[in-house]
Amino acid sequence: MKMQGAEALIESLKNEGVEVVFGYPGGSVLTLYDALYKTKFPHVLTKHEQGAIHAADGYARVTGKVGVCIATSGPGATNLITGIATAYMDSVPLVAITGQVGVALIGRDSFQEADICGITTPISKHNYLVKRVQDLPRVIKEAFYIARTGRPGPVVIDIAKDVFAATLDYEYPDSVNLRGYSPLYAGDPDSLKMAVQKIKQAKKPLIFVGGGVNISNTAKELRQLVKATGIPVVSSLMGLGAITGDAVEHLGMVGMHGTYAANMATVECDLLLGVGVRFDDRVTGSTEHFAPKAKIIHFDIDPAEINKNIRADLRIVGDLAWSLPLLNTLIIENGAENKGQLAPWRDQVVAWKQERPMNYKPRDGIVMPQQVIAKISELAPDAVIVTDVGQHQMWAAQFYNFSRERTFVTSGGLGTMGYGLPAAIGAQIGLPKKQVIAFCGDGGIMMNCQELATAANNGFPIKVIVMNNQVLGMVSQWQRLFYGERYSHTSIKGQTDFVKLAEAMGVIGLRITKPEDLEPILIKAIETPGPVLVDVALPADEDVVPMVPPGGCLDKMILGEW
C-alpha cells in the first residue's frame, strides 16, 4: 500500500496499539502534523515539549503501555531531554519521536538542527536516526519492542524532515529480530531452589520491594509470597503500592526518609531479598554498613544491576513474572511457608512500628503538611497520586496509604522538579475514570505551570494540591541541618499567587490557610468537575523526618519531635 512516511508512522502507531500521543508541532514535523490532522489521530497539545514527555511518562506508568510524544527538531527535541532522562532512570517505556532537518542539511549546523541521537545516547535505552523512508516501519517496530521488553526504557526516533513526505510501499513487520538484543525472561531455576533453602534457614528474613515489582505487574505474586512466608516487607520509593500500605507485614519505605521500623529491620535482618530493586544510594546510605548482618539475594531482570551497588550473595537474573511464581511454588513444595521460627522476629518489627509510628507534631492554628496528605488519603483512598519532587514527595510516600500497584507516580531516580503536573495529565488520560491528585511544591509547580492551561483546555479533572511553604523545602531543610542555617536563595515567599495563576489559565483556584478549612475545601475540590488547584499555606520550617544524613547508617536517624 503506497503512502507517505508521515502516514506510515501513524499507521505503525496504530499497529502498536497506541491510543494517544502528546506533542508540540514545529517546522520539521509539519508533514506529520498534517497527517495527524487528516487521520484525526488522538493528540494532546501541551504547552511545552517537556510537558509532553512527562505526560507520556505518567500515562506509561499507570497503564504499563508505551507512552509516545512528538517534538520538532532542534529546541523542540532538546526540550525533551529532562523527560527522557527521567524515564530512563525509572525504567519507563517511552518512544520519543523527533523531527530532524532534511537529509541534505544534517551535519551542517542548519537552522534548528541538533544531534539528538548523540545527546540522548547516555540517557535512552536506544535511539535511531531515520534517513530513508523504507526504514520507518522496521524502526518503529523495533523501537516499541525495545521500549517495552526486558528492563523497559525510553527509545528516541529522530526522523529527517523529508522522510515524512517521501512515499513507500507500506508493510508493517510481523516480528523483530535484533542481533545482540535478546532480553532475558527466564533464568536459572536452581538459583531459586538455593533461595528457598536460605529462606528456610533464616531467622530474621526481610523482603525489600522495588519498582520492578510494579513494572512487571507481579504485585499479586509478591503478596502471595508474603502471605505464604510471613516475611516482613520494606519498600523503596518506587516500590510503594506493591503491597498494601497498612498490611501488618509492611514496615513502610526504607532509606533516607524511611520509617523507623523499616530502617531498623534492614539493619538487623539476617537475610534480605531485594526484589526488583537497584539499591539506590537514597536507600542504602553507607553501602559498607547497609544490611550488615544479612545475606543478600538479588532478584532483577537486568544483570548489570547485580553487584553494582551492593554485593549479592545469590543472584537471580530474570523477569519477576518468571521468578516470583516459581519461588512461591518451590516454597510450598519445600515446606518453607509460615515458619514458626519467625515469630520473635515478627514481634520485634511490630514493636518497632509501635515504638515509632509515622507521626508529626501539630501546631495551633497551622495546617501541617503531613495532615494534608493524611486527609487526602482518607478522602480519596483509591486515587492515583502523582507528585513533584521535594518534601511533599516524601510526605506523600510516608502518609498516603497506597493499596494498589501503579497508583503512585513520581520521579524517583532523577528527582525532576516540574514533573508532577504534566505527569498527572498523562495519568488522567491513561485512567480516565480514576481520581488523579497531584501534590506539587510551590517551587516545582512553577517549572511547568503552563500545563494548567492544558488541563483546562481539555477538561482533565486533575486536582493539584500546591504545598505552599514559601521556600524550596527540601533544599532549605538541608541548609538548616547541614549548612549552618544559611538559606541561600531558597526563600520564594510571596512570589506567586497560585489561585490567580490557576484562574488565569482557566483552572478553578481554592485556598486553605487554617486547619478548620482543610477538610471542607479538599472535599469541594474533589467533588468539583474539571481541574482544580488548591493552594495550601504551610509552615516553612517543617522537616521531613525520619532522616538519615547522606552517607550515614540507616539506624542513625534524625527522628525529630513527635
Residues catalogued as catalytic? 49, 111-112, 161, 474
| Residues contacting residue 335 through CB under 8 Å, at least 6 positions apart | 200
User: Per the structure block, which three cell numbers stand in for 541?
Assistant: 520550617
Locate 221 and state its grid cell: 505474586
Contact 210, 278 (CB under 8 A): yes
What letter does residue 446 receive in the DSSP assignment? G
**Using CA atoms, how far apart are residues 552 and 544, in angstroms rounded to an integer?**
16
Q: What gap in Å lies between CA 158 and CA 431, rounded to an integer? A: 29
Residue 473 in 3-state DSSP?
Answer: helix
**Beta carbons of 265 and 367 less than 8 angstroms apart:** no
Q: Which of 273, 179, 299, 256 is nearest to 478 (CA)?
A: 256
Q: How far apart are CA 174 and CA 95, in angstroms?
A: 19
Please give the helix or strand (H or E) that residue 480 lies within, else none. helix 473-482
For 157, the enclosing helix (H) or strand (E) is: strand 154-160
Strands (E), 285-345: 295-300, 314-317
First-to-final CA distance of the chain: 69
Report whether the peptide linkage leading into residue 369 is cis, meaning its omega lies within 30 degrees of zero: no
Distances from the Cα of 428 to the Cαs of 135, 185, 384, 445, in angstroms? Answer: 34, 31, 9, 18
In a 13 Å sphere around the CA of 286, the CA atoms on its Cβ side amount to 12
Task: Evaluate whether 259 touches 358 at the Cβ level (below 8 Å).
Answer: yes
Q: In angstroms, rounded to a whole number, what is the distance separating the alpha carbons of residues 486 and 482?
A: 9
DSSP-assigned letters across all residues of 41-105: --EEE-SSHHHHHHHHHHHHHHH-SPEEEEE-TTHHHHTTHHHHHHHHHTT--EEEEEEE--GGG
The Cα 13–Cα 9 span in angstroms is 6
Q: What's the gap between Cα 378 and its chain centre?
A: 23
d(CA 70, CA 279): 33
Distance CA(277)–CA(279), nearest Å, equals: 6
The CA–CA distances, whole Å, from 145 to 264, 301, 317, 505 equal 41, 16, 20, 38
